[in-house]
Amino acid sequence: MKRYLLFLFLLPVVTGFSQPEIYPPHWWAGMKTNTIQVMIYGKDVGVGKPAVSLKHAGVTITKVHYVENPNYLFVDLTISPKASAGKFDITIRQGNPVTIPYTLKPKRTGNGTTYAQGVTSSDFIYLLMPDRFSNGDPANDRIAGMRDQSLDRDSIFHRHGGDLQGAINHLDYLNDLGVTALWMMPVIENDMPDRSEHGYAFTNHYKIEPRLGGGEAYKKLGYELHRRGMKLIQDAVYNHVGLYHFTVQDKPMADWLHEWPKYTNTSYKDQTLFDPHAVPGETKIMSDGWFTPMMPDLNHHNPYVANYLIQHAIWCVEEFGVDGFRIDTYAYNDLEFMNRCNKALLDEYPKLSLFGETWVHGVINQAFFCENNLNIPFKSNLQATTDFQTLFYGIQPAVNEKFGWTDGVNKLYQTLSNDLIYKDPMRQVIFLDNHDLSRFFSVVGEDVKKVKVGFTWLLTCRGIPQMYYGGEILMKGITNPDGWVRLDFPGGWPGDKVNKFTEAGRTPEEQEVYTLIKTLANFRKQSSALKTGKFMHYLPVDGLYVYFRYDTNQTIMCIMNTNDKEMDVDFSKYTERATGFTKANNVLTGESMSTSTAFKIQPMSMTVLELKK
């Protein structure tokens, strides 16, 4: 109890504004979302329940909410479809009237073509941590007045100085590699005392982290991506905020957060949310417990909290040109709230993509959180999840375990055979590793052959492939602690001894893996079968796993040999898909062969063939 009170209530309250702040700081004319609730925050701004007024044609105040904390006002605005863009004042009549400038901006043009266009199975996502990828502007490495002043590249726990300009500087590198979409760990302000580098503890939703370059740098990144035909994915966090968020330091009302008689952590047990035999109290702990003591859990049942979060998500799409959201810690949110949030986003932006982090174990567990074919009371409207199942119970055992009736590559086959549960398995985001997991190169014992099999599978299987930064240059690390898998990309900082953004800086093995990814990812850009084709796989036999991606225009045959010996591949065993073709072109080597004779595939390797008539 004492520890909890220390964390939450004995922090210095920040309330001495000379001018109140307003969130969202502006909105747009012509939006489908034409009713918004603005939060006004300032010292004693709500004392005496003052009248609030504005004058702008087509904009009306429908209700003013006076809440427990007099430092807040919540004002409901209705914006007519006929309202024009322009500036106006919101006036609070309290002693000396306080005026707050507000703006209705013109709505962006190009919805569905230049932004909010969605991320699909035609894309290849690159995930990076801005602080650890590249430092494009050393001037923002430290910002005066922020709580975390660390800057030490020798420490895995301190800030390193990477930023959005660093990402911009290497967009051509990513585009050349075959990447079509960029997902970064959160870019919103994290004014926390330490470990602020990861970005998951927001302290002000409407400020882009200044040490990453701020809002203008983020807009520039979106612009530079879109002009290259690439897409922007934002990492959204609805479940929690940082302990130093102003709404935690100075809560608008008593139930803004989930609070307990004593500190209560989430159990991390997703099963309690759908288990028909679950204890209700354990379900509540899973959903309402705090993710960590430094990340207070938001109460989505509070309508003001819900409005604040949903409006912010819509605001980000319109402000920065976001094409999709990866939603952090999806299972820990109130799921009815998430359905409401997802619907609001898709009503405004029908092509937008939404996929949730569901670090769970079991295909049914994972499918519960997205659109599925299960006959259950709760039906999620989330399009897809991050597919941990094809990682933990698929590609990892496929390359690391000996083949057996239920072992080795049979686990990959078994996991993919469960796709009947998903409404659309092609939306599932597949990956080899990420910022929370040991790097794939380390997981496979630094075996380059296994890495090559992994990436070949990633770029040919059903779903949306996602790669973690540095995978292409064999970055390694075990997550104990997580900082070891969040190291700097060599060459991203002035003065780095090697620059692995260039071929000259890579070792022969690194270049081998880089070339494989580049070749296959760029082939994939033009391959209708790999982007949107159907998936058919054959039962693994003696460690040999064969699957096809195909449509009316193209057939791709993928052969994975997980053995430590050569295996024969006989096209006649795969008549359902190979019949009618006379030759096969090796996508990675350019070699051509006849389908009338068998060929040998090397140990622990994968071959990708385009079949031709």
What the block records as the tokens of 88 is: 């106006």
Q: Which residue has the tokens 């052969």?
A: 559
Cβ-based burial of 381 (10 A; exposed 0-12, middle 13-18, buried ≥19): middle
Q: Which residue has the tokens 């309402």?
A: 288
Spatial contact of 561 and 544, defined as CB atoms under 8 Å apart:
yes
Q: Is 113 helix (H, G, I), strand (E, B) or coil?
A: coil
Number of neighbouring beta carbons within 10 Å of residue 391 = 22
Active site includes 224? no
Rounded to 10 degrees, the C-alpha dihedral 470/471/475/476 comes to 140
Provide the H-helix boundaries in 373-480.
388-390, 396-400, 409-417, 440-443, 448-458
Spatial contact of 26 and 44, defined as CB atoms under 8 Å apart:
no
Task: Dihedral sign for Cα 118, 123, 128, 130, please.
Answer: negative
What the block records as the tokens of 277 is: 């035999």
Of 475, 471, 477, the C-alpha closest to 459 is 471
Q: Is the peptide bond before 481 cis (omega within 30 degrees of 0)?
A: yes
The number of residues making up the chain comes to 613
- Give the separation between CA 64 and CA 52, rounded to whole angstroms: 7
Q: Which of 357, 387, 433, 488 is catalytic?
A: 357
Give phi and psi for 535, each to the nearest 5. -125, 130
Task: Supply the DSSP string of 456-495, one letter for each residue.
Answer: HHHTTSSSEEEEETTGGGT-----SSGGGGSPPPTTSSTT
Q: What DSSP character marks residue 391? A: I
- Give the separation between CA 114 and CA 98, rounded to whole angstroms: 39
Spatial contact of 129 and 184, defined as CB atoms under 8 Å apart:
yes
- Give the separation between CA 327 and CA 333, rounded to whole angstroms: 10
Spatial contact of 243 and 192, defined as CB atoms under 8 Å apart:
yes
- Give the separation between CA 468 and CA 179, rounded to whole angstroms: 11
Q: Which of 163, 328, 510, 610 is catalytic?
A: 328
Active site includes 357? yes
Give phi and psi for 16, each to the nearest 5. -90, 50
Spatial contact of 83 and 59, defined as CB atoms under 8 Å apart:
yes
What the block records as the tokens of 273 is: 């949310």
- Give the separation between CA 163 and CA 172, rounded to whole angstroms: 16
**Residues taking part in catalysis:** 328, 357
